[in-house]
Amino acid sequence: MQHREHLLAVVVPNEAGEAPLDLAAELVARGGKATVVVLLTEQVRDDFRRFADAEDLDLPTGEAIALDRLIEAYNARIGGDDTETFAAGSSSSARDLLHTAAVSGATTIAIPQQLAARSNLRGLMSDAHVPVLIAPAA
């Protein structure tokens, strides 16, 4: 059985928080697999609310449409047919992400630099059984 690289890319929808997507795109281009976890911060949720208001939609519908569009954009940016993308609350802990990595079979985890110092993610670097890359903002 051939070993296949699999990156768990944790992203925050802002310019500095999307750096792991570039790593995911490079890996997928080489034949690897990517799983993307989009952390929904309060700022992102506020953006979704503004979108719903601007489109005259109820909040759940507006949030669902905005999230679908964001996920489609991320999947298009990464490319490939073997990319999973899903959302998680911004309060996700290191334990939650380690569980996701284990379940998905990730061989590496990438997080944006802005998350590296968050207290609820500090354990990610020390407790992970796979390498954790800190992706600097471009």
Nearest-CA neighbor of 10 among 130, 111, 80, 85?
A: 111
Residue 128 reports pLDDT greater than 90: no
* Tens digits of residue pLDDT in 108-123: 999 988 888 776 677 7
CATH number at residue 46: 3.40.50.620
Assigned domain for 1 exists:
no
Assigned domain for 122 exists:
yes
* Tens digits of residue pLDDT in 15-50: 788 999 999 999 999 999 999 999 888 899 999 999
Task: For residue 125, give its domain range.
Answer: 6-135
* Contact call for residues 74 and 137 (beta carbons, < 8 A): no
Residue 1 reports pLDDT greater than 60: no
Indicate the number of domains in the chain.
Answer: 1
Assigned domain for 82 exists:
yes
Residue 51 reports pLDDT greater than 80: yes
For the record, the structure tokens of 92 come out as 């996700």
Q: What average pLDDT is seen over the chain?
A: 87
Nearest-CA neighbor of 30 among 10, 9, 5, 8?
A: 5
